Structure 1
């Protein structure tokens, strides 16, 4: 059977449930891109229904089709230029009056339309009864009732779409704007009909010209005779303004709102009191309280970060063990050489170290998704409006900044919803200062290594708060010196509170995890291999001494001490000559090893650690009681063996350090070390920071690769141990490094989006330079203040 395509433009206000319905219709068959010529996201999906291929184009959520924002222009241009077969207008039944304003504008475009009456359950709980049949008759469109978050009514909606799509007949729709305005509209229509393209509804063009819509004025002026028409309309505007006493754009908007209000009252019956509004109002009195709102917001964020650390620690440990096992399993089946080292150290050690932090990333996005879906994030924007006003921005600018907690790319792109170009530019430049999820693995690694678990969430919280503070400070500076101008008023809808859906939250987490793993399999993999190569080559380097000879000398010296102190008095030549002694040594080593493994993740002074130490002492005392004569000798042998191993490990680290220092990575790190040394950083940290230009997670994989050269353990726990053993690191240096990673240049993906959004190389380069300079200054201050305070 021949396929029949029906193009459907999905339009609606923000928070009307449009995205949920789009997901219900299209499922996983979606494609995300950009509209040509602009950076507004374009989302499309396909659904096969009743022998029709429905191509769903999800238009940007917008309150109107004026020319004040990119989203609005894009939405109306898609309808006019692409001529979709049907407009599917999703409206929120619980906020029907406000939603009908956009509906009226869509109908004026004279395209076939279906009205999706969503959230009817919420409207019912508010005591609102929408008479959809009356609404359908008055608008001349099919109305389908639905509850999007339960996927109810989707089939009926699609049937209506297919039926209207088969007819493809425009229904005439007219709002009467009053006798005086209507006379002028008719006059302009007569002037336009001979000259304009047929794709434009002529009456709609006339109204837009009266509204002084710059986009439409440019289109009409571009055709023969259009300039004269526009000049004539300008005179008409001034004439009507003198008669009506106000700007025509305002008058026409008021008349549309009046139409929406009258229609709402005609189709809606109110039963009882509005309990839902009353409940929402009671919550809002607390969450948006002038004094309590801000502390509550920071309290919510503090709880979120503690949740990320406490809960994420368990699956993180499982992945660490799995990564370590994988490295050992792969290594055991490969011959020693560069290929084995590349796979173990470069790929498994680098990429595996980043994947270890996937649970923390998912938990962070879980928290953000829950806060967004409940409606709390909008309240947070309202609360932050008081802070943002000090920057010269308003609370709406805080929404893109909140998105920055997840990823800087959508945060920067989110600035396009701001009407004022100055607000957009300032928001784009300060968005990267919000700590994105890509930085979380760095924080988790360093906090886990140098800070007690009880304080982990608070330390992480402080880093995020620092990002917010710096964004505010830089916003003040940019608004005052680079983008001075009047501030815009803050107008934003407070959507009713919703119970998040399991499907919605799961989809959000799935999308983020797929993106994270894709990045691990592409950018991070590539950088890990490059860093491994730079860390291992040149393979032959001159050493300060003969390490093989030094290791042999250590073994000879310790063996001589053991022979003199233990073997000769017992009349033996090697340990195996006295089986009872060998058994005692083995039992002591087993006790020590079991205790070391059990206490690896415990903090100093913790009751669990003390209990295990006491258990160890009890086991050793039991061994001594079993062999009172041989136990002291076995213990002395064990101490000699430990001394030998410590000396050999010291020589191994010294040799590895010299090789790394002379590798290509070492040479790069040494070149930038003078710049970062005042921050407490060494060349190894410098290599990680340079690699982090590609993606911030790469800082972890780079450190894992550098510190695993010559070692066997590649999991994050082993990397934390290696950092703790490095004399460069201490809690102050770890905190300073987190501060630098928070602030310095956005990653390549974010920089490319800044270039696209601003259409300027200048601002992209400025963003990278100013943030890196700011990172150096702030980190210098943090490090040296810490030193003065004795840390």
Structure 2
């Protein structure tokens, strides 16, 4: 019989690092039943019968976010054999709040006192023996990032599970509260599992509506419980939820005073760094410089060097040319040679050629995340986001979305308020994901001579779109209201671990590569067929001129839609529409159309002899930048649209999100192109007038007074904000 171990803990406590260390490659990812919160499970290395579940990182088991609900429901209904509770030893007071709740669930708990390397470095001392006795839990000192103690914690958890040991109940609360809870326990004793009766009693005391609905108590019992609660509230002169919160922290403060000795020192190294990188005036410029360097190195230097090798040598000299020669030598039909070399190698190769740039970009992002800097960025962005109605929590989905929009959209589940979550979902994909970076590289190389500033500008266009959209949407009735409180632990800075960085880089890169072997392969074959066949002399067959192909006929129908944006030719229109299938397909279409698997500059060089037959022949610098803006900001790929639908859980909201993104992208691109054309001497036209009207409309929506209806912001106790 298998043993189920649940990993629980606060965000940034090292839980994922320990999970990866314990399971290695024996991981499987899915969704929790009924919700879109990602579920990670794995088998413990060396133990095929031990399954470890990585629960969402949470601060408490109160049902405010999807993650908290998922964790609570998993523990109550799935009943793991034992819980490993990761506690950040360097911030122990804050982390023990969740511990006091977990010990009430009636399931054995092993505490992995993590980040002990930082505790020791700071000169602090934690009496784990005394703390273990007080909490009634086994405590193992660990440093997950250094691979220390994780295995011991797992082995101890297995031993406890096999012995079916129980965590003894601790009297966490003062006497009046303990008496009230004991009375409530008597009322519900025959309605809840005996081992978790304390948990249900506390939830009833807090008037948790979900638990009340789950228990379906008779009116008489409800009335009795309410009398007990009201009497306790009167005695302590506070509301029931605040009483429980305060009691927990009083209990934790007592534990800390007895078991923890902090060395009286000045600022830590992390504090000294934060005085600079989170400085009120320096934080944003530093963040801008960091991101410019990341994109510059990824796209214009190291990434570009490796990409050139991949395109020119690997897909060009080593694959495309020899393959075509071999197929010709064995007498392969011309159409089949075209399908393989132009459709498959040209389309898929045009996308895979950018994989090195993506891997370099993901590597830098993983380094910034693992060292602790990106947690500071969320804190920094909270100051800005709060000005237009969102909290720093909205930046976290956008940060994740820089790798792929799908997990970025799913990460919005951490946001408590429904209106803020919906607005975050609608704006997350404005941030360029990995799939959009080949488009940026293509435009930068083909039209701007590889200019370094194009890639960073794409990132900051996405950030600006988020800010402008946030301000405009927050002034409407459906999105109006104050943002939810933002509480986040800032982990101490540390040297990134090679394993974590490489694993994170590969996971993001692999999702990019998989598309090339599936969706993009099929789409490339479709593009090759429709661009190679059409009506010739009244009969269907292969065409020499793409302008007579099926694809040209389809593209010509939609091209007028994009003409005001500066790219009203059928090739660009087809690439843009197919970008809805997968954003990488924008580059793949050009690779198929021009029959090259090389990089952007090589595409231009190989097509240069044809004038309008080259990529550069279809664009000016201004129209190319308009093309870039539209493809960055418009509706995302089908996979991301599916994620939006699952998270919104409403067809109307899904269509509203897609429609808003597309209209916003179209109008912004139109304004940029038409006003840019006018400023550069293109004359005043009807479309210039339309662009001015649209700009005036955006300025009005941006600066107008917002909706002033009555707001009802649910108040959440920001646990230990004043104490921790």
TM-score (norm 2): 0.88
Tell me if 1:758 matches 2:648. yes
1:307 alignment partner, one of 261, 283, 297: 297
Deviations 1:504-540 (A, max 9, x none): 1111111122211111101111111111111112273
Tell me if 1:665 matches 2:554. no
Q: Match of 1:704?
A: 591
Deviations 1:737-773 (A, max 9, x none): 1101111111111111111111111122222222111
Contact 2:106–2:195 (CA under 8 A) maintained in structure 1? no
2:310 alignment partner, one of 306, 319, 342: 319
SS in 1 for 2:388: coil
Q: 1:48 to 1:314 in 2, by over 3 A?
A: closer
1:720 alignment partner, one of 604, 607, 618: 604
Tell me if 1:13 matches 2:6. no
Contact 2:173–2:251 (CA under 8 A) maintained in structure 1? no
SS in 2 for 1:123: helix
- Give distance in 1, aligned partners of 2:103 and 2:505: 37
Contact 1:352–1:715 (CA under 8 A) maintained in structure 2? no
Q: Match of 1:639?
A: none
Q: Match of 2:323?
A: 330
- Give distance in 1, aligned partners of 2:535 and 2:170: 79
Aligned ranges for residues 73-84 of structure 1 at < 5 Å?
Answer: 73-84=69-80
2:99 alignment partner, one of 103, 110, 117: 103
Q: Match of 2:703?
A: none
- Give distance in 2, aligned partners of 1:394 and 1:374: 23
Contact 2:84–2:153 (CA under 8 A) maintained in structure 1? no
- Give distance in 1, aligned partners of 2:538 and 2:396: 56
- Give distance in 2, aligned partners of 1:689 and 1:262: 62
SS in 2 for 1:538: strand
Measured after TM superposition, the shift of residue 488 of structure 1 is 2.2
* Unaligned 5+ runs, structure 1: 544-654
- Give distance in 2, aligned partners of 1:741 and 1:448: 17
Q: Match of 2:560?
A: 674
Contact 2:324–2:337 (CA under 8 A) maintained in structure 1? yes
Q: Match of 1:641?
A: none
- Give distance in 2, aligned partners of 1:208 and 1:698: 51
Q: 1:714 to 1:383 in 2, by over 3 A?
A: closer
Measured after TM superposition, the shift of residue 666 of structure 1 is 0.6
SS in 1 for 2:483: coil
Aligned ranges for residues 568-607 of structure 1 at < 5 Å?
Answer: none
- Give distance in 2, aligned partners of 1:25 and 1:375: 22
1:42 alignment partner, one of 39, 43, 46: 39
Tell me if 1:161 matches 2:153. no
SS in 2 for 1:500: coil
Contact 1:391–1:472 (CA under 8 A) maintained in structure 2? yes
Q: Match of 1:548?
A: none
Q: Match of 1:568?
A: none
1:234 alignment partner, one of 214, 226, 236: 226
- Give distance in 2, aligned partners of 1:783 and 1:722: 28
Moved more, 24-33 or 296-305: 296-305
SS in 2 for 1:524: helix
- Give distance in 2, aligned partners of 1:173 and 1:688: 63
Tell me if 1:483 matches 2:482. no
- Give distance in 1, aligned partners of 2:194 and 2:467: 46
User: How many equivalent residue pairs?
Assistant: 664
Q: Match of 2:623?
A: 733
Tell me if 1:530 matches 2:526. yes
Q: Match of 1:745?
A: 635
Deviations 1:135-166 (A, max 9, x none): 22222222111211121223322321221111
* Unaligned 5+ runs, structure 2: 682-724
- Give distance in 2, aligned partners of 1:723 and 1:416: 47
- Give distance in 2, aligned partners of 1:52 and 1:45: 10
TM-score (norm 1): 0.81
Q: Match of 1:268?
A: 260
Q: Match of 2:469?
A: 474
SS in 1 for 2:49: strand
2:577 alignment partner, one of 683, 690, 698: 690
Aligned ranges for residues 413-424 of structure 1 at < 5 Å?
Answer: 413-424=410-421
Measured after TM superposition, the shift of residue 296 of structure 1 is 1.3
2:86 alignment partner, one of 84, 90, 96: 90
Deviations 1:25-74 (A, max 9, x none): 0000101111111121110000254x662100111111111111111111
Deviations 1:317-376 (A, max 9, x none): 111121112111111121242111100000000000000001111111112111111211
Q: 1:235 to 1:735 in 2, by over 3 A?
A: same
Q: Match of 1:778?
A: 668
